[in-house]
Amino acid sequence: MDPVLSVQGVTVRFGDHLALNQADLSLAANETLAVLGPSGSGKSTLLRAIAGLEPLAAGRIESLGVDLASFPTHRRGLGLMFQDATLFPHRDVLGNVMFGLTMKGEKRGQSIGRAQAALELVGMEKFADRSVSDLSGGEAQRVALARALAPEPKLLMLDEPFGALDRPRREELNEELRSLCQRLPTAVLLVTHDHTEAFALGDRVMVLREGKVEQTATPTDLWRNPASPFVAEFLGWNVTHDAHGRVAAIRPDSITLTCELATDQERATVVARTFRKNHWRIRVETASRQILEVEIANSNSDRTLGAGGEGLAIGQSVGVVIDPGAAISFSELPLKP
Ligand code: ADP
Ligand code: MG
């Protein structure tokens, strides 16, 4: 079957600036793809281009084998949701969710039923008659999600949907979104700058950098095998540069610190330590002046380190052991012209 979405060599320019540079992606029905990248990497531009809101300088966008070029936004079979809900203030909750259905020319009776079903999906069925101005931020985002889902789009596109909410609310909504994505037959394209969120929600994750697709992989493959120093660093790996211009990446949870220094071990000094619920994050500076971030699981029973890092003091000397299976050496960086 043709993919629900196929993006081929899509380029978007703003003047001289290439906001999207030959982007490719393919999305199957029922699949969730998380688009991950720093601010300004082109994530929103990609979604807007797919929605038909930005003209393409090059490339092609297809859905189920059909070129979307001549289809306006509302005929592309999309559900869209952005960081700010922007609900219609003069309509109640149900009226907001019915909006897309009415636009499609659906009969009022049928629209009401479908809008109520969409509100149920997001746990907001009791709010149907409420004014949207009374809603909390999280409730408003649920209503916006119901509005995007009500017309049963083939593809749901979410741009940092819960980015404006506080962390507990955001985690709760992400959890619900994940279960929704699994239950619904809809393909989902989700934009985020947070790799934890991308890993939790994406069946696959696509990393964007300055408008280019840097890597697309499942969360586990991406975490184990970042394809470039950029991806590695963005995911929180240690990226080191030696005097010969060689670049290596070392996964933070693959480094062991030892208190008993063997002669062949690299030595380092503890420069910082932070407690993070299930692990300690320890920063050390090695004898060769590399800074390494090390994650030590809190359940660590290694007596020499006390309870997973608590026993380490700033300024303390430690030995550094790196699991060779969790270190990647990248070829030398191309010389700048
Ligand atoms: P992201 O969503 O990843 O933060 P965007 O897609 O919004 O990034 O933007 C990508 C790049 O394109 C940025 O450098 C941004 O400044 C630029 N850009 C986005 N929209 C416009 C616009 N309408 N006009 C000019 N430049 C824009
Ligand atoms: Mg954006």
The pLDDT, as a whole number, for residue 335 is 52
Please state, in angstroms and rounded to a whole number, the distance separating the CA atoms of residues 12 and 15: 10
Closest CA to 170 of 144, 149, 141: 141
Tokens linked to 95 = 């009226």
The pLDDT, as a whole number, for residue 332 is 56
Give Cα 276 distance to the centre of its chain.
21
Which residues belong to CATH 3.40.50.300 in the chain?
A: 5-228
Q: Which ligand is nearest to the CA of 37?
A: 1
Protein residue closest via CA to atom 22 of ligand 1: 14
In the reported structure, the alpha carbon of residue 68 is separated from the centroid of ligand 2 by a whole-number distance in angstroms of: 22
Tokens linked to 205 = 């994750």
In the reported structure, the alpha carbon of residue 245 is separated from the centroid of ligand 1 by a whole-number distance in angstroms of: 32
Q: Which of 21, 45, 190 to mutate to test the pocket of ligand 1 (most atoms within 8 A of CB)?
A: 45
Q: Which of 12, 17, 206, 212 to mutate to test the pocket of ligand 1 (most atoms within 8 A of CB)?
A: 17
In the reported structure, the alpha carbon of residue 211 is separated from the centroid of ligand 1 by a whole-number distance in angstroms of: 9
At the topology level, CATH places domain 230-330 in OB fold (Dihydrolipoamide Acetyltransferase, E2P) (2.40.50)
CATH 3.40.50.300 fits 5-228, yes or no: yes
The pLDDT, as a whole number, for residue 258 is 87
Tokens linked to 312 = 């380490």
Please state, in angstroms and rounded to a whole number, the distance separating the CA atoms of residues 147 and 212: 31
Question: Which residue carries 């859905």 as its tokens?
Answer: 63
The pLDDT, as a whole number, for residue 337 is 46
Please state, in angstroms and rounded to a whole number, the distance separating the CA atoms of residues 232 and 131: 46
Exposed / middle / buried, residue 280 (Cβ in 10 Å: 0-12, 13-18, 19+): buried
pLDDT along the chain (337 residues), means of 10: 95 97 96 97 97 97 96 92 85 93 87 94 94 92 94 95 88 92 93 94 97 98 96 94 87 88 84 88 91 82 55 89 90 55
Which residues belong to CATH 2.40.50.140 in the chain?
A: 230-330
pTM: 0.90
